[in-house]
């Protein structure tokens, strides 16, 4: 357990704390700008994973027609569909787990930043215990040791405490998370996966917005900026196409209505239509009888009859 604590402190806590303090000193002792700069740095470090995630998304989108054809071929056989799905992914070199890379990297950063903000943006003097031990000793060119107390005020927010107006920051957290997920979610052809994706698309933003009511505003600011940067990266690669439609509707299949016995009005209308059709067909039938072969033979020879009367 001590080894894990030591690794956690040396790999996560100390680098993040010193980086955040350096940005705080460089950017005019403004912790909000320091958090934004720290977010940009984290996004630059994780950019290869983000590009790999977007590449996996494109490959999975290209496989959707093939997946639909396979699902229609093996409809009703779930085990065969799952086997063929993994086979298609394996043959195409696509890994569905590869899309979770940036999210896996973000989790320890969020936990570490939460601990750093509690340590740096202290609310009582006891939080400063051990601060000098976490600062690197070779940072002599910057007065990191003398940076405390830190100015944690930004607009109406105290970056070390939750939002006093429990509306704006939670809404921004939920909205940016929704946009980020909407642009990075690969649409599935399976109806069950579509329902699960729709549930996660709404559940995760609401859950994070609820958690931001208890977390420091500095952590919420980091998450908001990280989502906005992710949306910007996605826009430069794929545009706004994955974002629309913003609220997709389920396609309803039209079911044929059962044909029951006709009412009296329908029977009367159908009889009137049949009578009209029969009336229009009668004169045509008479004309056709006159123009037949027998009709030409029955015509009297008028010229011969006149000659016989004159004689």
For 31-46, what is the mean pLDDT?
90
| Tens-place pLDDT, residues 153-171 | 888 888 888 888 888 999 9
Can you tell me the distance from the alpha carbon of 16 to that of 74, in angstroms, rounded to the nearest whole number? 51
| Tens-place pLDDT, residues 238-259 | 776 666 555 555 444 444 444 4
pLDDT-derived band at 221, boundaries 50, 70, 90? very high
Question: 262 or 229: whose pLDDT is higher?
Answer: 229
pLDDT-derived band at 237, boundaries 50, 70, 90? confident
Average of per-residue pLDDT values in the chain: 73
DSSP result, 177-244: HHHHHHHHPPP-SSHHHHHHHHHHHHHHHHHHHHHTTTS-HHHHHHHHHHHHHHHHHHHHHHTTGGG-
Can you tell me the distance from the alpha carbon of 176 to that of 221, in angstroms, rounded to the nearest whole number? 11
Question: 187 or 44: whose pLDDT is higher?
Answer: 44
Can you tell me the distance from the alpha carbon of 93 to that of 80, in angstroms, rounded to the nearest whole number? 20
- Angle between helix axes 47-62 and 31-45 (nearest 10 degrees) is 50
pLDDT of amino acid 36: 93
Is residue 193 within 8 Å of 169, Cβ to Cβ? no
Can you tell me the distance from the alpha carbon of 54 to that of 101, in angstroms, rounded to the nearest whole number? 11
pLDDT of amino acid 52: 79
What percent of the chain is modeled with pLDDT above 70?
A: 64
pTM across the whole model: 0.67
Residue among 181, 50, 51, 172 at smallest CA distance from 104: 50
For 205-220, what is the mean pLDDT?
89
| Tens-place pLDDT, residues 257-306 | 444 454 455 555 555 545 555 555 554 444 444 444 444 445 555 554 44
Three-state DSSP at 248 gives coil
For 32-38, what is the mean pLDDT?
92
| Tens-place pLDDT, residues 92-109 | 777 766 666 666 777 888
Domain boundaries, the chain: 2-243
pLDDT of amino acid 291: 47
Query: Is the pLDDT confidence value at 181 over 50?
Result: yes
For 184-207, what is the mean pLDDT?
73
Can you tell me the distance from the alpha carbon of 86 to that of 94, in angstroms, rounded to the nearest whole number? 9
pLDDT-derived band at 128, boundaries 50, 70, 90? low
Q: Which residues, in sequence order, are bridge partners of residue 157?
A: 154
Query: Is the pLDDT confidence value at 76 over 90?
Result: no
Can you tell me the distance from the alpha carbon of 236 to that of 150, in angstroms, rounded to the nearest whole number? 37
């Amino acid at each position: 357990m001590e080894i894990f604590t030591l690794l956690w402190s040396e790999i996560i806590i100390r680098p993040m704390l010193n980086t955040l303090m350096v940005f705080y000193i460089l950017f005019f002792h403004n912790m909000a700008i320091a958090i934004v700069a720290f977010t940009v740095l984290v996004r630059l470090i994780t950019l290869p994973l983000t590009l790999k995630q977007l590449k996996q998304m494109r490959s999975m989108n290209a496989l959707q027609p093939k997946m639909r054809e396979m699902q229609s071929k093996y409809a009703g056989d779930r085990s065969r569909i799952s086997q063929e799905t993994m086979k298609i992914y394996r043959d195409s070199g696509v890994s569905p787990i590869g899309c979770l890379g940036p999210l896996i990297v973000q989790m320890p950063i969020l936990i570490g930043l939460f601990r750093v903000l509690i340590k740096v943006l202290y609310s009582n003097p006891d939080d400063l215990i051990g601060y000098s031990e976490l600062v690197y000793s070779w940072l002599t060119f910057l007065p990191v040791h003398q940076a405390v107390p830190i100015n944690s005020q930004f607009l109406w927010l105290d970056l070390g405490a939750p939002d006093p107006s429990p509306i704006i920051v939670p809404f921004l957290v939920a909205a940016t998370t929704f946009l980020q997920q909407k642009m990075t979610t690969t649409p599935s052809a399976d109806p069950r996966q579509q329902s699960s994706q729709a549930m996660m698309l709404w559940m995760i933003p609401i859950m994070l917005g609820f958690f931001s009511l208890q977390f420091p505003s500095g952590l919420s600011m980091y998450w908001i900026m990280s989502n906005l940067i992710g949306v910007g990266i996605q826009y430069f690669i794929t545009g706004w196409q994955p974002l629309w439609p913003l609220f997709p509707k389920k396609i309803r299949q039209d079911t044929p209505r059962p044909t029951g016995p006709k009412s009296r009005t329908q029977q009367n209308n159908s009889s009137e239509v049949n009578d009209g059709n029969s009336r229009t067909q009668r004169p045509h039938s008479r004309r056709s009888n006159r123009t037949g072969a027998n009709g030409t033979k029955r015509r009297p020879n008028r010229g011969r009859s006149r000659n016989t009367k004159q004689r």
